[in-house]
Structure 1
Amino acid sequence: MNKHLISSALSLAILASLNGCDSSSEAITPKEIPVGEAKAESLLDMSSVAVDDQPALAADWYKGAVFMEIFVRSYKDSDGDGIGDFKGLTSQLDYIADLGVEGIWLMPFSESSDKDHGYEVVDYRSIESDYGTREDFDEFLAQAHARGIGVIADYLINHSSGDNPVFIDSDNNAGGKRDWYMWESNNPGWTNWSGDPSWHQGTYGYYYGIFQSNMPDYNFGNQEVVDFHYNNLRYWLNAGMDGFRFDAMTHLVENGPNRWSGQPENAAIMYGIQQLVMEDYSNRFMICEDSSDSLAAAQSDFCGSAFSFYLNMDIMRSVNAGSTSGTYIVDWLQQGRLSSMGLLLANHDYFAGTRVFEQFAGNEAKYRLAAATLLTLPGQPFVYYGEEVGMGHTANSGGDYLLRAPMSWTAEGGFTTGTPYRAHAHNTAAYNAANQMADSNSIYHHYKTLIQLRKNTPALREGDIEVLLDGEVLAYSRSLADSNVLVVLNYSDSAQTPVIPVGQASTLLSPLANFGSNAVSTTSSGQLNLSLAAQEIRIYQY
């Protein structure tokens, strides 16, 4: 296991950079403050965990697979208390599998102090009591695996809850946990991206928490912190989890008041974790949230995979503007790392974009173009729950909460037999799973057709990409061995007659999944002449 450990030299270097980031602030040491009563070790399972590798799925199950991001609290309530739970989620696995989804990303499901989004973790090895029991979770995992669906979960590596017993011990200088977090005797006065303070008053001095006061950041200059996370990861991998999404990974190390994102030390930390997840265990997957430089984080000596933030925004801009001009979408498609990255249109965070329905003001033609782009690119597409039925914002919330409405199952809601903890989406009456499934021309069936096509077409799932045309019409080929697929997307709201340099002379191209009515042929010079209706999608195999 030594290959996974960040060297003591690296840990010391990180610690030195943290302690030296503000010469006017003298770090508090345990000798200067009273020693409190340790409680974390008695309240939490913090035992060491050895590898027990029992993979549930085939090798490379995640490559090119479509994932669905699910907020358990908002997905399906089984007991009428108005809160989604694992029994409710399990009851909808056939719906998820029927779409063609092969992976689920669960937002945090461990016991939390926020009792909502789950990003304030109190106990890493527990199940959020609102979501049911450990037995409920185990049954969900078994049933997902029985349907060939892998399950990855959010792992909160950057910070804990301020109510986590480990932080309480740190605040009280108890149990040797003081330097598991970052402390200064005086307030260094740093602020985060919003101008909000990132140092907060504790019992003895100030602690660092870039998001807010009840989310204190771990000190990754302490090897015990790294080991703590390793053991938690092994705990869930041994339980059958198929991997993790690492939250807020760009903020692991801070080197100064304006150097709290994308620091070079992050790479070594996450590479060690990649070795644990992907090498000590078989057939697992991990992906990182790095909003500062996702291409760097996707490198093989870093996370190995990361979400392609800002590609999603270029897709949405291209569709809304009717052209790829003025965007970086072509640059993204030419990136060699795209096949290892996570793709998205939107997710649970406002910074990544509002619900797709809202971004297009309900324009279904644009919605379909964006979905067709997402689901025909290299990489691992992630669909946010409800996206496949056109779900919009919740009716009476703001910020991130707008994006996290209870799932729209029926015109009446269908999420619970009780009172939902949060209002349904404002468009639930028209855009819900029941109505959408009954309409063969719906957004739901558009998503299902594309997901199934991707799942059953190796060139779309894992093939290389070559951009052939951009502008009002974006055209690219996906190629694997001797199999080729051509994707043609008319982003314009007017008819277009593109000439596409396919590069194969006198070749017959056959439409796939009714994305095109007839077979077409290239010219003797390898060009394809098409007549496209406004906002039309064509997909051919050749």
Structure 2
Amino acid sequence: MAKATNNNWWRGGVIYQIYPRSYADSNGDGVGDLAGITAKLDYVADLGADGIWLSPFFKSPMKDFGYDVSDYCDVDPMFGTLDDFKQLVERAHALGLKVMIDQVLSHSSDQHPWFVESRSSLNNPKADWYIWADAKPDGNPPNNWLSIFGGSAWQWDTRRCQYYMHNFLTSQPDLNFHNPEVQKALLSTVKFWLDLGVDGYRLDTANFYFHDAQLRDNPARGRPDGEDPAVNAVNPYGWQWHQHDKSQPENLAFLRELRALLDAYPDTTMVGEIGDDDGLARVAEYTSGGDKLHMAYCFDLLGTAHSAAHFRGFVKRFEEVAPGGWPCWALSNHDVVRVATRWASTAAVAAPELLRLGAALQMSLRGSPCIYQGDELGLPEADIAFEDLQDPYGITMWPEFKGRDGCRTPMPWLADAADLGFSSSPAPEKPWLPVATTHRELTAEAQIQDPASLLHFYRNLLRWRKTQPCLVSGTLEVLDAHPQVFAYVRRHEGHSMVCVFNFSPEPAQWVVPVAFAAMHTVTGSGLGDAVRQGAVLQLPAWGGAFLGHA
């Protein structure tokens, strides 16, 4: 199967994340599918993305909507068939798009044949393919590890009279990576999709593969104070330092094995999801040396903070701890509240100018941007009633945490359709999640017809970015602090570009450093709202500029 060429495409390439259940429904059953995605790939290509990332579509009982895999080498009938997937890849490659798929290696479904066998006895061939442990003498779990979805990370099993570990739902048992046979089996599933022509992987929970073999307790952290995008203060999972249940040193050797496999297939890549007490340090560790992950992301752009000081702090630290590492930057994804709501202050939705500024920041940082479906439309978080919730995380943590359904509602394509065009045929079934009434004025159709829309801004920005090697491949140096302005310089092969962003609802003045005095405002990005007066750059509220040489 012919691939879209360009090795190292991932270095600065723009990735567009598609959540299959909610992108496009081709058969009217209320659930998005692979054929629906294939029909919409022209839209992604027109946006200017270089590749797509598909959230899981493997066979699954769907307790966690595909992140509980029961067969790593087949498509769930809900989404179509293997032939549908092959057609998707073929069409994507014909459009010049790379195809990355979500690989969930740390755990499987409890309905996976491996786990069914593993739990059947203490001495079957797969008895130690999962993490089993005896109870303490008083019957309690073997240690204090917690599940992200609430409660203990250990579930009692009456077949073996032992506990098994689950970082997420009890129906998502963790695989035992200390067993070489487990690693070998998982690598074979990775190879299966590479042989079908995929261009890479997004690795779910890439630092969760190994656990401490001694099962030592995690140290107490206490209830976190202040803002921490990686911790929900109402979830006791964040009240521990996760020293022993993830991010173990043995993880590095497995990532090298995984990288060696991908390196045997030209033009492929991996981006790892890192959820860690020190995410930036872990991204640096996992992307250094050119022998592990190609790129990784943590959660520093996925919180509510959007001040100049916040961005300056984490970007500067990343450049210090990971000078050779390659990050992947997202403003939203399928696990967090949408940026248009997260960054809102007094209004229900963030100002359009702020969303444009955020996109310009994302597209000019050193790394690879990842756009979550609908961010290019400025979609706010949908308000889902409790009786319509599907996410088990939200159902458990309600009402203080409503889960992830609000960012997973169907993509709005057409304003005049009852389901906003989510289904391409008359839909006898209502969508798996309600369409959001707040999305009716933001449909793709309406924004395609409006040259002043956010969608057109994204299209122009991505098209312009491809002409700026400094932004795609250059180094990054953070410039002096300013209370409202975050500024940095990108450099590549003797050329420079200064990126200046006023992350404030008030106008700002930024004095252009002497070293960049000869630079002028570069047009084409779509920002175009800053005014240069001698050495001073006048920036409106939520305004920005790119400076370069003629």
> What TM-score, normalized to structure 1?
0.83
Residue aligning to 1:415: 422
| Deviation of the 1:455 alpha carbon | 2.1
Cα distance in structure 2, aligned partners of 1:464 and 1:344 = 19
Q: Which amino acid aligns with 2:10?
A: Y
Q: Using a 3 Å threshold, how does the CA distance of structure 1 residues 326 and 490 change in structure 2: closer, same or farther?
A: closer
Cα distance in structure 2, aligned partners of 1:311 and 1:240 = 32
Deviations 1:377-408 (A, max 9, x none): 11111111111101223342330122211111
Cα distance in structure 2, aligned partners of 1:130 and 1:112 = 10
Q: Using a 3 Å threshold, how does the CA distance of structure 1 residues 162 and 106 change in structure 2: closer, same or farther?
A: same
| Deviation of the 1:115 alpha carbon | 6.1
Counting only pairs closer than 5 Å after superposition, residues 26-45 of structure 1 correspond to structure 2 as none
Cα distance in structure 2, aligned partners of 1:335 and 1:300 = 13
| Deviation of the 1:254 alpha carbon | 1.6
Selected match of 2:144 from 190, 207, 215: 190
2:211 matches 1:211: no
2:35 matches 1:87: yes
Counting only pairs closer than 5 Å after superposition, residues 56-455 of structure 1 correspond to structure 2 as 56-114=4-62, 117-173=65-121, 176-186=125-135, 187-192=141-146, 196-202=151-157, 203-204=159-160, 205-255=162-212, 256-258=216-218, 259-277=244-262, 279-292=263-276, 293-300=282-289, 303-313=292-302, 317-319=305-307, 324=310, 327-333=313-319, 336-337=322-323, 340-350=326-336, 354-359=337-342, 360=344, 361-362=348-349, 363-396=351-384, 397=389, 398-411=402-415, 412=417, 413-416=420-423, 417-418=426-427, 419-455=430-466
Deviations 1:244-293 (A, max 9, x none): 1111122212212321021111111112111111x221110001111113
Deviations 1:1-31 (A, max 9, x none): xxxxxxxxxxxxxxxxxxxxxxxxxxxxxxx
Q: Which amino acid aligns with 2:335?
A: D
| Deviation of the 1:327 alpha carbon | 4.5
Q: Using a 3 Å threshold, how does the CA distance of structure 1 residues 168 and 514 change in structure 2: closer, same or farther?
A: closer
Q: Using a 3 Å threshold, how does the CA distance of structure 1 residues 514 and 210 change in structure 2: closer, same or farther?
A: closer
Q: Which amino acid aligns with 1:183?
A: W
Give 3-state SS (helix, strand or coil) of 1:381's partner. Answer: strand
Q: Which one has the largest radius of gyration?
A: 1
Give 3-state SS (helix, strand or coil) of 2:210's partner. Answer: coil
| Deviation of the 1:468 alpha carbon | 2.2
Kept after mapping to 2: 8 A contact 1:190/1:199: no
Give 3-state SS (helix, strand or coil) of 1:393's partner. Answer: coil
Kept after mapping to 1: 8 A contact 2:531/2:539: no
Cα distance in structure 2, aligned partners of 1:329 and 1:189 = 36
| Deviation of the 1:519 alpha carbon | 9.3
Kept after mapping to 1: 8 A contact 2:521/2:545: no
Give 3-state SS (helix, strand or coil) of 1:422's partner. Answer: coil
| Deviation of the 1:466 alpha carbon | 1.8
Counting only pairs closer than 5 Å after superposition, residues 11-22 of structure 1 correspond to structure 2 as none
| Deviation of the 1:189 alpha carbon | 4.3
Q: Which amino acid aligns with 1:153?
A: I
Selected match of 1:529 from 531, 536, 541: 536
Cα distance in structure 2, aligned partners of 1:449 and 1:507 = 22
Residue aligning to 1:8: none
- What percentage of aligned pairs have identical amino acids? 31
Give 3-state SS (helix, strand or coil) of 1:511's partner. Answer: coil
Kept after mapping to 2: 8 A contact 1:63/1:461: yes
| Deviation of the 1:330 alpha carbon | 3.3
Cα distance in structure 2, aligned partners of 1:253 and 1:131 = 31
Residue aligning to 2:468: 457
Q: Using a 3 Å threshold, how does the CA distance of structure 1 residues 147 and 323 change in structure 2: closer, same or farther?
A: same
Give 3-state SS (helix, strand or coil) of 2:207's partner. Answer: helix
Cα distance in structure 1, aligned partners of 2:93 and 2:339 = 29
Residue aligning to 1:516: 528
Q: Which amino acid aligns with 2:199?
A: D
Residue aligning to 1:29: none
Kept after mapping to 2: 8 A contact 1:395/1:423: no
2:501 matches 1:501: no
Q: Using a 3 Å threshold, how does the CA distance of structure 1 residues 237 and 520 change in structure 2: closer, same or farther?
A: same
Kept after mapping to 2: 8 A contact 1:125/1:235: yes
| Deviation of the 1:504 alpha carbon | 4.4
| Deviation of the 1:444 alpha carbon | 1.2
Q: Which amino acid aligns with 1:289?
A: E
| Deviation of the 1:485 alpha carbon | 1.9
Unaligned runs of 5+ in 1: 1-52, 523-527
Cα distance in structure 2, aligned partners of 1:179 and 1:161 = 16
| Deviation of the 1:172 alpha carbon | 0.9
Q: Using a 3 Å threshold, how does the CA distance of structure 1 residues 506 and 454 change in structure 2: closer, same or farther?
A: closer
Kept after mapping to 2: 8 A contact 1:355/1:391: yes
| Deviation of the 1:338 alpha carbon | 7.3
Kept after mapping to 2: 8 A contact 1:107/1:153: yes
> What TM-score, normalized to structure 2?
0.82
Q: Using a 3 Å threshold, how does the CA distance of structure 1 residues 325 and 290 change in structure 2: closer, same or farther?
A: closer
How many matched pairs? 478
Cα distance in structure 2, aligned partners of 1:157 and 1:513 = 39
RMSD: 2.4
Kept after mapping to 1: 8 A contact 2:519/2:548: no
